[in-house]
Structure 1
């Protein structure tokens, strides 16, 4: 018997713990299943489901390959623009908040107040921000950009703070000892350590914002969400199929590009 096998056999057994957790999970699963009801599923519902499936298999090609202001390509470009600009706005606003929330940069009272503010920002869903900004700016892409920007601040700031608190402070102490100014310490001591990490976080958030921007159109904040919900309400499943196909292709492309960029930034 090898050393690894002896260690495996000598490891303590947690049968009671495993059985208890399994029992609790089974109870929760059984309780959840009882909430499922098939009473509302009738012939009409099955027919609608069949029409949805047919629409996905037979999309409206004219809508998919046309380049008018109501076509899928134009709306996808608008959605990308909303997500991109919103990410830039959120990333810029998150930087000073992140430094104010970092315990190794500012006093703890200032840090805790800023963290409470960031928690409050993260608590409000993006759709609520969208409804608020639509009242202020009116329906359209601008409301979507502001919504994406504000809703991005919470997550970006939190990830920025984690990066800031992990920087090598010995570099800053060395720069202080040779008489560097605050600007020089930020320019040559902090930014080089954080730039690639911040860029990687921004790309990750942009990937998430693409999905949020697609949904914001449901409340009138621009993008492809509004045509999607209108097509669904009008039972135009071929148009729904075209929009969903365009969204899937776009998300896949952005996923591949963002993963490559982030891997290069991490390696660099």
Structure 2
């Protein structure tokens, strides 16, 4: 028996604490299921609709899936991809100055605290609410989707950028100062090389998430594949639903594989 195992066996055990925590967790789980899950509303019609959706996925509308008109799945997927990509770029650009303003090792703590509070407020509001707000300003369409994705990306990207900024190796900057480097040279050769790979890795990860958000934003009219999916379901056109879902799943899988490979290379580099 190893020393670690002996220490674990001899460690005092607080059984009452474990029992109380277990009872509280079980009680909360039971209360949550009673308030959220209602199996009595599921009837034969619901199972039939579920079967129709599965049938649509197995037998998709190939004409809708493979043609290149503006109503086709391919066109709408490309539009969704463009919304996610542009929104991520917009969010990344806005996040950089906000991240520096929120980093307590760069600016005074009151300014950093206020900026972090702003980022918390941005993260609190759901993407669909932002989508509805921007649709009122710009009208329905992809532009509202880009603005929504950009703003929702700011909350997460700026927070993760701040973590990278606060882990900067300041000794490098001190060495550059001692040899007479200018502020621009310190930023160019001391800060950017340390932050670039981390920022890019986080941005790629956020783009992966934004693809899913861009797909759902179409439900409120912010462009992309979501609206045709909703209309097809409301019209009980399950073959069209199947073609949309297949195209969406394939695109997201491809993007996830590519983004994971890029991020792993950045981490290794």
Which TM-score applies when normalising by structure 1? 0.95
Aligned length: 268
Q: Do structure 1's residue 73 and structure 2's residue 74 form an aligned pair? A: yes
**Aligned mates of 2:51, 2:59 — CA distance in 1:** 12
**Corresponding residue of 2:200:** 199
Per-residue CA deviations over 1:100-128 (Å, capped at 9, x if unaligned) read: 11111111121112112111211221111
**Aligned mates of 2:97, 2:120 — CA distance in 1:** 16
Q: Do structure 1's residue 233 and structure 2's residue 239 form an aligned pair? A: no
Q: Do structure 1's residue 208 and structure 2's residue 218 form an aligned pair? A: no
Q: What's the offset of the Cα at 1:53? A: 2.2
Q: Do structure 1's residue 250 and structure 2's residue 244 form an aligned pair? A: no
**Corresponding residue of 1:48:** 49
1:85-104 → structure 2 map (5 Å cutoff): 85-104=86-105
Structure 1 window deviating more from structure 2 (4-13 vs 192-201): it is 4-13
Which TM-score applies when normalising by structure 2? 0.95
1:110-125 → structure 2 map (5 Å cutoff): 110-125=111-126
**CA spacing shift, 1:40–1:186, aligned 2, 3 Å:** same
**Aligned mates of 2:202, 2:246 — CA distance in 1:** 28
Q: Do structure 1's residue 157 and structure 2's residue 162 form an aligned pair? A: no
**Aligned mates of 2:113, 2:32 — CA distance in 1:** 39
**Aligned mates of 1:33, 1:128 — CA distance in 2:** 27
**Aligned mates of 1:31, 1:126 — CA distance in 2:** 29
Runs of 4+ in 1 over 6 A off after TM superposition: none
1:1-80 → structure 2 map (5 Å cutoff): 1-35=1-35, 36-80=37-81
After superposition, the CA RMSD in angstroms is 1.4
Q: Secondary structure at the match of 1:39?
A: helix
Which 5+ residue runs of structure 2 have no aligned equivalent? none
**Aligned mates of 1:76, 1:183 — CA distance in 2:** 42
Structure 1 window deviating more from structure 2 (222-231 vs 12-21): it is 12-21
**Aligned mates of 1:86, 1:2 — CA distance in 2:** 54
Q: What's the offset of the Cα at 1:15? A: 2.5
1:167-182 → structure 2 map (5 Å cutoff): 167-182=168-183
Per-residue CA deviations over 1:65-87 (Å, capped at 9, x if unaligned) read: 22211111111111111100100
Q: What's the offset of the Cα at 1:59? A: 1.3
